[in-house]
Structure 1
């Protein structure tokens, strides 16, 4: 895994191109501290940079990589699986490789298949490829958006990078927060393809962008969607076998996905929480490894949010070597909070992101560069409580009344009460754009609809006026591909909408890549292997949620590995304790507010209304959901103010250690 940056200027490179490219690479050196390389072509106007984290091939494979004729150049932030078998097959057909790097197979496959080469790539990746013969630049992001990639495009120039901060470091790229994105972040849900910054967009998951010099002397762009989570239409599911077939199919593919992710020239560990996802990963990995697997677990100081005891039971059952990281208020706030905002480049509603930053740092300190994680399981197997709620509420209407749904809905609401205001809305909220898109407003977005009502008044008066006609909820809905929803089961519709928004925009960014690579540590989410995903999307909804049990087919597939307490446990969202649960945490938040969100700071940034922010900080609601929602808004307020200070008010730089 690595970091990539670059730009293409049709009028040729500036005299300071080497200096500028190096400065851009400096800001993402955390993604690749083991080496760096660049390619500069002043006449063509092409600059490509790479910072390397050595996981595969520790001695060769420095980038940029080129074909033997020098015509195709690659910089890649990638982990390609099955690369050894692909390399062997291609070698038998006469292909020659200059390194043992997994990334080099992309060049060989491109030479043989052209732009269709992405169909043959398996793994997590984001890369830039220059084809000198076709005179085209190709940017590609993996199927789920596990690895990040951002661009800034003008008529005659294009900038790209693994992180936005690298783009902002070039002197000609504008540094401005996007007002619409600020409102979307306050309410939590970003519009797919957008970032916190004006004129900076995210390459979307499963997307390939191809740029050429047009006949009019401007950059021409082609957008290709090479993969999507294509759930079958409801009628296409008929005659698809019984439960044992699906259980075996899930087991076989997950075992394979974990197996290929254990391939590395450095040790590979596992993240371990109290959920069946990471526990399944650890259980499989432990059977494959000769020595005990190293497992890393986060422990919180609030028993309502702490899963470390259950994780310890799994570690004992698997014979793993477990390390538990105990986190308190002082680790979740202060300089650690602002540092994680710097890495995430967007706001976050919960300090789980800060906790995971600490975890990745501990993994790196203990000598590991890579871990396998459990992200993606809930998306594939209907694991979240809001998926169940939608089934219990809307299932009878679509599939005939079921008297048991009402009782199941009541039970689920009670068991997830601690998450009201964040994961689940305490009251029904609807939006016409989502009713029209899905057939109802999904439960996952309802808390954020309620949050928006409190978020909009926090904007500075000028921004409130500017955005008076902007509907951030509708803006998110407009980016969802309607063709992927037509004729699909209600679970497929809500899962798809979540995958295209919150999975990529939240879980895989400030909950994944950005806090892991912040400490030069690579995470490998085995459930997001596209071979497994393509199988899982075919599973009938009745086997995903079966008799009120979420992820039923996965539970049955892993039954022999999971301890009984885990096999029987209901899904419990992994979150850090909000600041309203502890006066020490609230004092830590107040210190951050004084540093970043004081009246003077808010007025200087021009994003937020100081009076409304003061009112928010003064509120002390006895209602649990309202208190959680206020904590969320305070986190977002702090995040926006930190983003302004770090990237707009000042030239981007690497901040000091917390």
Structure 2
């Protein structure tokens, strides 16, 4: 896992000292993503920077990696992991290629030499790659099918800037720090269109997308999209297929040359992965480690059963080396932690204490392991959210999670903005337009019932929209502390299969995520197998709330520039409250305002909001 960045300019000589220094500055912003090594390749029209988190072939996988041919040099930057790359390497060897390392990076490089841009179709995993083909002076940017690994780009007058994070592009003098209304809409709406970015002129390479840059300009196309296909398997065959896919995916994703672990909450998703990982590693004579988060003296703070006993029960049942990471309430309120979270995400819109605790959890895990498996993506794929089974929310004529957000509006930054800015943004109209566009992407089958069509739309929106925001959060917070988090439920083969399973089979016994329980529930204790879904734990401590309210009062006292954007009257009223009388939604609204203030301090954006 790594951080990549680069600059292609067809009218400049990037070997000049000033331009090289700019490329070095871009690369330096990726240091957290790659603490183990750095590399820079600079030639006349291309500067390519790399920061490495060594996971596969620790000694031999240094980057940028290149191959010199009779016609010129081809250079590769690679971030992420290609699973099952050994089989692909064997195929390339049969085709006459010779390898110097054991790394998946070299397999991608030789795959490009063999298949050109079509190499993307041969890759299975989470990755973002940049290939500079010096033979024809062409840059190829490739992103994995689900968009697990980020990849940003911005067109310049004579080329392009790109990077794993937007901060890399902003480190270049050509990077535009302007945020306009479209950027704010993308940031605030949770209805972000694919490819959109907060920063003006900056975009993401589409999931399953390729971007080709040469002297003729930029051309983008998709090599993969989520397609609708008939599902002809009966229930027993479907369960067997899902189980087989899960076992194969986890077996591949536990391959690593460095310590790996699982994130174990004691819920269904993480417990299934932990059980499968324990089984896969036991076959290799190894024992898996597992980690769970908890708070000092508390459960999850939401009136639900604490996670820890269930996580411990799973760990004992499948035989992991288990450890609880206990977080201190006040540490989560530390402004330095908020600053680290905002800096990692390049955005003021975070989930407050949830993001802070996740950041601290990943930081603690990183002291023991370099790779972790997470259950992210299972709810989207198997229908674990409440809107899949709630008739009113299922019928909601918008993104199904929007109705939930409206009920929790105090927590939304968009609800705390000044009235003038809210009017200019007109988020309801933006969300409606994005919903219509997303629904138009969904394919349907002939003869499909209206109810099944509705379930298919919700599944598509979950996988292609809300899941992207969760994957972005997981990637940014983990890579900020040099931890690689793998997400087996986002394997494209599993997604393609389960997405097309009719809802009647996905919910065949009336329980949430029936298909996952039926396919792998036998690996778990009965108490965990039947446990209902719970959200990621929130911080319940009043001292945490008190610290936030004081920080909000400090913003008011100093007259911080954030007050020009938010409803300061609301903030003045809230900070006078007693912590015990401050609902979680109101507290979260304060967290959003504090985050916006930190973002303004860190990034000094030029706001064009008219």
TM over 0.5: yes
Structure 2 CA distance, aligned partners of 1:288 and 1:230? 31
User: Aligned-pair distance for 1:191?
Assistant: 4.2
Cα pair 2:261 2:373 within 8 Å, conserved: yes
- Residue 413 of structure 1 corresponds to which residue in structure 2? none
Tell whether the 8 Å contact from 1:272 to 1:279 is kept in structure 2 after alignment: yes
Residue aligned with 2:200, SS: coil
Supply the distance in 1 between the matched residues of 2:186 and 2:559 (Cα, whole angstroms).
Answer: 21
User: Which residue number in structure 2 is paired with residue 242 of structure 1?
Assistant: 234
Q: Shift of the alpha carbon at 1:612?
A: 4.0
User: Aligned in 2, Cα 1:470/1:242: closer, same or farther, shift over 3 Å?
Assistant: closer
Structure 2 contact 73–135 (Cα < 8 Å) conserved: yes
Match of 1:434 in 2: none
What residue is the counterpart of 1:656 in the other structure? none
Distance 1:469 1:392, change over 3 A: closer
8 Å contact 1:146–1:508 — kept in the other structure? yes
- 2:291 is matched with 296
The 5 A counterparts of 1:448-527 are 448-449=405-406, 456=414, 458-460=416-418, 463-464=421-422, 466-467=424-425, 471-477=429-435, 479-480=437-438, 482-486=440-444, 489-505=453-469, 507-510=470-473, 512-527=474-489
Does the CA-based 8 Å contact 2:556-2:563 persist in structure 1?
Answer: no
Instruction: Say which of 566, 573, 593 aligns to 1:637.
Output: 593
8 Å CA contact retained: 1:32, 1:520: yes
In the alignment, the residues of structure 2 paired with residue 141 and residue 633 of structure 1 have an alpha-carbon distance, to the nearest angstrom, of 34
Q: Deviations over 1:435-459 (max 9, x none)?
A: xxxxx33431213345669755633
Give the C-alpha shift of residue 256 in structure 1. Answer: 0.4
Deviations 1:350-396 (A, max 9, x none): 42222121122112212x110111111111111122222259855xx
C-alpha deviation, 1:518, in angstroms: 0.9
The DSSP-based 3-state class of the residue aligned with 2:276 is: helix
Relative to structure 1, is the Cα distance of residues 591 and 183 closer, same or farther in structure 2, using a 3 angstrom cutoff? Answer: farther
Aligned-partner SS, 2:390: helix
Q: What secondary structure, in the 3-state scheme, does the structure 2 residue paired with 1:472 have?
A: helix
Aligned to 2:266: 274
Alignment of 1:608-647 (within 5 A): 608-617=566-575, 627-647=583-603
Maintained 8 Å contact 2:186/2:198? no
Q: Aligned equivalents of 1:250 and 1:71: distance in 2?
A: 43
Distance 1:307 1:36 in 2: 39
TM-score by length of 2: 0.89
| TM-score (ref. length: structure 1) | 0.83
Residues 441-487 of structure 1 show CA distances to partners (whole Å, capped at 9, x for unaligned) of: 34312133456697556334663464358833235325526132545
Q: Which runs of 5+ in 1 are unaligned?
A: 215-219, 395-429, 431-439, 651-658
Work out the CA distance in 2 between the residues paired with 1:286 and 1:101.
24
Give how far 1:30 is off.
0.9
In structure 1, what is the Cα distance between the partners aligned to 2:393 and 2:237?
A: 26
Mapped partners of 2:424, 2:399: distance in 1: 28
CA distance in 2, matches of 1:129, 1:383: 38
1:211 counterpart (206, 210, 213): 213
Q: 2:491 aligns with which of 522, 529, 539?
A: 529
TM-superposed deviation, 1:504: 0.8
The structure-2 alpha-carbon separation of the partners of 1:320 and 1:470, relative to structure 1 and needing over 3 Å to count, comes to closer
Aligned-residue Cα RMSD (Å) equals 2.6
Q: 1:196 to 1:313 in 2, by over 3 A?
A: same
Deviation at 1:623, TM superposition (A): 10
Is residue 78–residue 103 contact of structure 1 (8 Å, CA) maintained in 2? no
Decide which moves more: 31-40 or 283-292: 283-292
Q: How many residues align?
A: 585
The whole-number CA distance in structure 2 between the counterparts of 1:622 and 1:63 is 53
1:224 and 2:188 matched: no
Matches within 5 A, 1:325-474: 325-334=325-334, 335-346=336-347, 347-366=349-368, 368-390=369-391, 394=395, 440-449=397-406, 456=414, 458-460=416-418, 463-464=421-422, 466-467=424-425, 471-474=429-432
How far is the alpha carbon of 1:34 from its aligned partner? 1.1
Relative distance call for 1:565 and 1:465 in structure 2 (3 A) is closer
Name the CA distance, whole Å, in 2 between partners of 1:123 and 1:364: 22
